[in-house]
Amino acid sequence: MPVMVITGTGTEVGKTVVTAAVAAAALAAGRSVAVLKAAQTGVRPDEPGDAEEVARLAGAVTTAELARYPDPLAPATASRRAGRAPVRPHQVAERAAKLATEHDLVLVEGAGGLLVRFDAAGGTLADAAELLSAPVLVVAQAGLGTLNTTELTVRELRGRGLDPAGVVIGSWPAEPDLAARCNLLDLPDVTGAPLLGAVPAGAGSLGAADFRASAPHWLAPRLGGTWDAEAFRVREAP
């Protein structure tokens, strides 16, 4: 699995923190890691972006960013408003493939959801994943509404012949409500994809040392961790 694409079911679902957790677990296992941010929006030139945040939390990863646009919008819209060239799916795939020749694992983080447009031609992260033939990890919300958005995302992946590696809950609340607890059972059922982790809410505010020590406990063995989905469901589900 030299390249893994990480997408969310929408914005603000914990995608960057999950990317950092996967990177931290891989580093702890002795693997070299690169993180590629396909298109960074809503960040000034002098501000750290998502790739830098992954490095801050996870440790010694190689970071790369194809383009940066100041407006917090979809990349296609943000590039148009900025008067700058858009990111194309083939550019994402080419850079990821190059990084894969130099690293054990390359994590490609998208912007928002799977079908957010990079360019006026309608290119998306899904198109880049197709070019790479890479598995796609889906980061989902914990609570009400997540079943629909997560199932739609996984259906789109399968419709393109892509491998949905699994689902990680990007922000598991300290006091989950009934919907969140039921979703632990329902998400694998409606998507047909395994639940591969649950990152605690607020994990991104941990100090780097604590984050790196804890990350493997949030992720299933397929992602290099020790998290047990069944034990978690027994403890948290109704």
Which active-site residues does the annotation give? 37
Asked if 6 and 166 touch (Cβ cutoff 8 Å), the reply is no
- Return the closest-CA partner of residue 108 out of 38, 53, 54: 38
Please answer whether residues 124 and 86 qualify as being in contact, where contact means their C-beta atoms are separated by less than 8 angstroms: no
Q: Which of 167, 187, 190 is nearest to 179 (CA)?
A: 187
Nearest C-alpha neighbor of 220 from the set 180, 188, 183 = 188
In this structure, is the dihedral angle defined by the CA atoms of residues 73, 49, 163 and 22, taken in order, positive or negative?
Answer: negative
- Contact between 58 and 88 under an 8 Å Cβ cutoff? The reply is no
